[in-house]
Homo-oligomer: A and B are copies of this chain.
Amino acid sequence: MAKKAEQRRQQILKAAFDAVSDKGYESVTLQDIADYADVSKGVTNYYFENKVDVFAHLLEWITTRIYEKEAASIKEKNTALEQLEAYINQVFISPEENKTFYRVYLDFLSQSKNHQRYQEINRQFYENCWSLGTDIVNQGINEGIFRVSDKEQAAHSIRSIIDGSLIQWLMRDEDDLHAYYKSLCHQSILRLLQVEK
């Protein structure tokens, strides 16, 4: 079945994700992936061209998953402020989920310069993120609560603040900072959009 094959691929991707999360991109071997997936080494090469191919699919999976979750939680809300809050809430889901997800994502970011394919996937991810930002900004402008001259620029800036906050949080690796950086990120963006107090 094509169904069965798709399941196997998912299983391998999940295993690759766990492996990278535990050991870091560079040190994950094909054997690791096989071990995490509870299959033998050959399987990975049966379903994917090679190691890079596995990782490219993994990056694609991660970024689209992040984007879709963000888009979904925004769509539930009506006002720009609620949407923004939902966005930030989704970005900073929970310390556990965040750490694993964004550590792996950061690994890929630093690999992007060496792999054209990763870079392309990440470019797509950025565009998705910007479109989320633009939508919220448009909504806020229509509501008359955001004061922004250049919408595209605002979208870029929003994502900068999000990524910058996430990375700083990730790097400090102390307890109890998750809520702090979530709030910092939220407030920074509100100031950027010049929302009246």
Q: Name A95-140 residues within 8 Å CB distance of B.
A: 103, 106-107, 109-114, 119, 122-123, 126
- Does A168 lie within 8 Å of B172, measured CB to CB? no
Chain A interface main SS type:
helix
Q: How far is the CB of A119 from chain B (nearest CB, A)?
A: 7
A114 to B185, CA, bound (A): 26
Q: Name A150-197 residues within 8 Å CB distance of B.
A: 153, 156-157, 159-165, 167-168, 170-173, 181, 184-185, 187-188, 191-192, 194
- Does A184 lie within 8 Å of B160, measured CB to CB? yes
How many monomers of this protein are in the complex? 2
Residues of B within 8 A of A114 (CB): 23-24, 27
Q: How large is the interface on A (under 10, 10 to 19, 20 to 34, 35 or more residues)?
A: 35 or more
- When C-beta atoms are compared, the residue in chain B nearest to A125 turns out to be B171
A122 to B173, CA, bound (A): 11
- Does A188 lie within 8 Å of B171, measured CB to CB? no
Determine whether A55 belongs to the interface, using a CB cutoff of 8 Å to chain B: no
- Does B112 lie within 8 Å of A109, measured CB to CB? no
A19 to B14, CA, bound (A): 33
- Does A110 lie within 8 Å of B106, measured CB to CB? yes
Contact check: which of B113, B164, B171, B192 meets A122 at CB < 8 Å? B171
Apart from A119-B173, A160-B164, A164-B165: 9 A-B pairs, beta carbons within 8 A: A24-B114, A103-B113, A119-B171, A156-B181, A160-B185, A162-B164, A163-B168, A167-B167, A192-B192
Binding site for B on A (CB under 8 A): 23-27, 103, 106-107, 109-114, 119, 122-123, 126, 153, 156-157, 159-165, 167-168, 170-173, 181, 184-185, 187-188, 191-192, 194
